[in-house]
Amino acid sequence: MKYYIGIDLGGTNIKAGVVSEDFEIVSKTSCKTNLPRPAEAICKDMAKVALEAVDKAGLSLDQIEAVGIGTPGTANSEKGIIEYSNNLGFLDFHVVDLMRTLIDKPCYVENDANAAAYGEYVAGAAKGANNAVCITLGTGVGGGIIIDGKIYSGSNFAGAEIGHTVIDPNGPECTCGRKGCFEVFSSATGLIRMTKEAMYADKSSVMWKMNEEDGKVSARTAFNAMRAGDKAGKEVVDKYIRYLACGIANTINIFQPDILCIGGGVCNEGDPLLLPLKELVAKEVYTKNSAKNTEIVIAKLGNDAGIIGAAFLGLSH
C-alpha cells in the first residue's frame, strides 16, 4: 500500500492527513496557523503536523510517496512557489524548496480551491468525470476546474476565479473591487447579507425571532424561515437560488463539464436548494437539447476534499 501526505493550509488552521492509495484518510492532525507570522515558521508547522499524522497512522516516512500542499492565493505549481497570498501575507515564497529540507519527499503546491476540486475529482462527487468544475459556496465563492483529468489554473496560475465573474454590474461592491460579482450574491456571506436586508425591510418576518433565538443571522436563517412558512424567508431563498443558477449556467456555458459539483455549508440544505436550482439552470444553459448535459451534484468530501486533493497533486502534475 502506498501513502501520501496532504496539507490544507488555511488562514485559521493547518490541517494534514495521511491518505492511502485508495483515497482513504488514514489519520489527520492540525494546529493553529497563528497569523501573522513569517512564512518559514508556518512551513515548519506544516512539516510538523504532517510528520505527526504519519506517526499517528503508525507509519514511517519511508512509506510516504509524496507531499502536497493546498494554499490560499496564487500558487505557481511549476516552480513550487506561493507567488501571492493576501490572507497569509506570502509573496514569492519558495514553499516546496523549504518543505523538501524538512521532509525529503517529492512535494507539490496548488491553490486550495484547485486542490479541493481535484479531491472531488479523484475520490468524490466528480469521480469518473473527464472534465469537471467544482464551486465552493463559503465566505466567498471558490472555483476549481479539471480538464482532461488535469487541474486548469491558467497561464499565470490564477485561473478558476469563478466567484469574480460579474452577474450584475449594478450590484454591491465585491472585495475584489468589481461590482456585482457572483461571489457577492452566491457566497454564504452574500446570503447572510440578503437575509439581513429582507429582515429590516419586513420587521414582521419570522427571521427576526430566529435571529433572537440563535443570537445571529446565518446562511440557514432564510431557509429555516421558509420552512416555517415565512414569506420573506422564501423570497430570500428564491432570490439567492436565482443568482446561484445564473452563475452556474454561465460556468456551464463556458466549460460544458461532465459534472459541476457545488460544496460548502449552504449545500447542506439538500433538495430545497438543489431541485429549484437544477430547474432554473436547465432553462438558462445554452445546450438545452444536448444529448449529454452537465450533471449538477453536491460535493461529497466536505472539509476532507482539500487534504485528499493535495495528497494526490503529483498525479495532476
Mean pLDDT value of segment 262-276: 93
CB neighbour burial string for 92-123, b if at least 16 within 10 angstroms, e if fewer: ebbbbebbeebbebbbbbbbbbbbbbbbbbbb
Per-residue model confidence as pLDDT tens digits over 103-121: 999 999 999 999 999 999 9
Percent of the chain residues past pLDDT 90, beyond the cut: 89
Mean pLDDT of the chain: 94
Please tell me the distance from the alpha carbon of residue 94 to that of residue 91, in angstroms, as a whole number: 9
User: Looking at residue 312, what is its pLDDT?
Assistant: 97
Q: In the predicted model, is pLDDT for residue 290 greater than 80?
A: no
Nearest 5°: phi and psi at 74? Answer: -95, 115
User: Looking at residue 316, what is its pLDDT?
Assistant: 77
At 317, is the pLDDT very low, low, confident or very high (cuts 50, 70, 90)? Answer: confident
Structural domains for the chain: 3-123+304-316 (3.30.420.40), 132-299 (3.30.420.40)
Please tell me the distance from the alpha carbon of residue 217 to that of residue 301, in angstroms, as a whole number: 26
Per-residue model confidence as pLDDT tens digits over 164-215: 999 999 999 998 899 999 999 999 999 999 999 999 999 899 999 898 888 8
Q: What is the pTM of this model?
A: 0.90
